[in-house]
């Protein structure tokens, strides 16, 4: 199983979309508090449609708690500052894909954490600040899932 981590997400619609992605790919979604919304918000429920019960979602009090729950794993932090493309990695079962909050991305103290295996980027046209969080997570998750052979997929 792949693990997608949203560090301190702020926009409920993005997290709702990620819940739906989790349900459709079999990946686990980990939300690191503080969250910028309540999990019962209508925008989150609407974006996730009726997939909430089909998704694997865990909420962690902080990054330290998420690290304990995830155990030893390869952790790839997604940032526009990285030089390695997300397609240049040979993903493995159990890998962690870490994404920062909208609109700031992962803070320097997280990007310098020795817990990280590598920092990855999704290519974009020049002059663009960033990609939508749920879109970036979907792109990366589907590439990793594709490399794993789409286990469980039809």
Please tell me whether 19 is known to bind a ligand: no
Contact residues for 2 (Cβ-Cβ < 8 A; gap 6+): 25, 26, 27, 28, 91, 93, 94, 95, 96, 97, 141, 144, 145, 148
CA 37 vs. chain centroid, Å, equals 17
Please tell me whether 122 is known to bind a ligand: yes
Please tell me whether 13 is known to bind a ligand: no
Contact residues for 35 (Cβ-Cβ < 8 A; gap 6+): 8, 9, 10, 15, 59
Binding residues for S-adenosyl-L-methionine are 100, 122, 130
Mark the binding-site residues, compressed into ranges.
100, 122, 130
């Amino acid at each position: 199983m792949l693990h997608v981590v949203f560090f301190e997400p702020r926009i409920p619609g993005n997290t709702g979309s990620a819940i739906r992605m989790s349900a459709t790919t079999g990946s686990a979604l980990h939300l690191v508090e503080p969250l910028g919304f309540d999990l019962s918000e209508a925008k989150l429920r609407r974006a996730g449609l009726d997939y909430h019960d089909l998704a694997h979602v865990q909420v962690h009090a902080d990054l330290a708690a998420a690290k304990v729950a995830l155990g030893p794993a390869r952790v790839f932090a997604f940032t526009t500052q990285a030089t390695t493309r997300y397609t240049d990695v040979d993903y493995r079962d159990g890998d962690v894909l870490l994404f920062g909050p909208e609109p700031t991305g992962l803070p320097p103290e997280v990007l310098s954490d020795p817990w990280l295996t590598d920092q990855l980027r999704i290519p974009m046209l020049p002059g663009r600040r960033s990609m939508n969080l749920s879109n970036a997570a979907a792109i990366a998750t589907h590439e990793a899932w594709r490399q794993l052979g789409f286990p469980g997929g039809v």
